[in-house]
Structure 1
Amino acid sequence: MPKRTLTVGAAPGCDLPAVGQAPAARRDNAEARRLAAAGQEAALIGDQAAARDAFARAALLNPGDERIAYDLGRAHEELADSAKAVVEFCRYLSLSPAGREATDVRDRLRRIVPAVAQRQAADVQVAFRLGIALYDDGRYEAAIRAFDDVVRDAPSASEGYFNRGLARAANGARRAALQDLEQYRAKAPTVDDRVDVGRAIEVLRRPVYRPGVAFSRSLLPGFGQFYTGHPVRGVLVLAAAGAAAGLALTQQTTTATIAYVDPNGIPAPYTRTTQERSYFTAGIGAAAAVTIVGMIDAMVSASRSQRGATIQARIARSVSRGRAASTVALAPWLSARGPAGVTVAVRF
């Protein structure tokens, strides 16, 4: 099933932390406390540059203190350095998302983060929800396009890659789906996620064959087995069909002496030689039967490869309408007198 929550930064304009990067631990550092107090005193008298420098040095000594991050962000904001202010405010939210100043920080971010970045963050969420709705509806091509927008505008959000991989797999683009799932595995937040997506990757790497192609190639005996990855069976089917065809084309020579009297009444017997294919019907029937059996075997192998190749839940269709699925059955037959053929049964 697709991921239904998009992991984004703490607020518009905030980037996601790197995979495996935990927030810095808070330290009890006396020098950091002294510098933070000095920065607050400088801010009170309006010396924002001195305050910024003191808070920056304190942040180096105690990077896990959210209050220092907040004060440093305020100092940058007062000095009109919006980019650095955003970095510090985002760091505050990563350290204390529900802290005392969290609401104030988010308000300040809404004011200083460029409108383009805020609009892009909202558009990413819209595209993500649209992609999920299209995927659930079975419209995989459209879902891929929606998740393309998510991946383009939020490349650090791993769920965009995961969901696009599912949609691509459902749409038959297995190689592209593999690339997306590999991207997700590299960004996956937990070990369990990496293990689960690893299993899906192994499934996608298995060869998958199409029953229609297996059928068409099986018109040449054994070639369906070569297509579905069973070369030994293919050689056996080809050899058996070839032997049967050879038997059908084998000629037998018959010599008979014919009594004959010429018009003058003188006996003039002669020898007549005839050639015939006595096993033609049986041989052709046997070759056809071997070909049909090989065809069925190749189609069954192709169907089995597809049954084990899906990594997403299939959407049930038409069953709720009370209609049975249509089926096609093929059965070879060969009579004792030689003729052979195939019975086709279709149920709608």
Structure 2
Amino acid sequence: MKPQERSMLQVMNETIREEMARDDKVIYMGECVVGSAMGMTTGLYQQFGPNRVIETGLVENTMVAAGIGLAQQGYRPIIDPMMADFLTPAYAAMTLAGKNRFMHGGKIDLPMVILTTMGGYLGLGAEHSGCPESQVMHIPGIKLVVPSSIVDARGLLKTAIRDNNPVCYYFHKRLMREKGPVTMDEDGAIPFGVADIKRAGTDVTVVATGYMVSLCQNVAAKLAEKGISVEIVDPRTLVPLDIETIIQSVKKTSRAVVVDEDYITCGVGGEIAMQIMERAFDYLDGPVKRIGAKGWVPATGVEKYVLPQPQEIADAITSLVRADRVVVDAGIGKMSLYKTD
């Protein structure tokens, strides 16, 4: 069948619907899931009923703990707290989820997905704009998915729902309503731990995650006009991390920039940069550059000073490749979170 134009939100809704129809053990539970505030669960309650689409209220720790219990009983809960920022009260339960299989000697499965939005650039305030990926990476036993494209969003979500381990699936709010072609009549499941080269290049490797992939693609297109060839590697999953694909790219280009919206301090960028240094130091022509959120909350009005910006990415790349600065016009457009398709 010919690929169809869909938004990421539509694709994820249809993918969840497919998996719930395929397996009656899949349950969707969380905040605003019946009314579907952002459109993620549109029509699910009407199709599958109150026993499989469950409104939990604003109780993040309780919903994750309930998910653990359901998973232990053979169900496959999808837990939706709306925004990754809201998971702070749930880290006790998340840590338990990560340890659970180890505590039982691997004799039980714990198939559950924590599915939620993350990210800024929408002026939603400090409490709605975080990218706390590295916090999940500090919890052994939990896998972490960060899709950057519509096709990846579908394929990785199928794999996450079918996995027998706890999975955090963090998708960026800026990408929710972006549209693109996707083939919906194929299964399309994408295995975890397989990075994707989103743009081939020869001068510098840029490792980017989530919405940062889009920013870097725009910057790379502008730099190509100036003769700078940028290769963009998207890990797609941070746990497990396909470091080998990243290293092979760095060995080819001899330069590396890591761009992630998590905080620079103790963040995703620092982890990936250090692994590059450990595994490919002899191939590097310069230090690994990191771009991430600065050490301040991304409050409304200061996001452009806290979160990564296109010019900042361009400056990091050109500082490794050539002496003169290239000014790019690859801005960030406006978008409404609650806009209907």
TM-score computed with the length of structure 2 as normaliser:
0.20
Q: Which has the larger radius of gyration?
A: 1
Greater RCO, 1 or 2 (C-alpha within 8 Å, sep 6+): 2
TM-score computed with the length of structure 1 as normaliser:
0.20
Question: Which structure's residues are more often strand, by fraction?
Answer: 2
Question: Which structure's residues are more often helix, by fraction?
Answer: 1
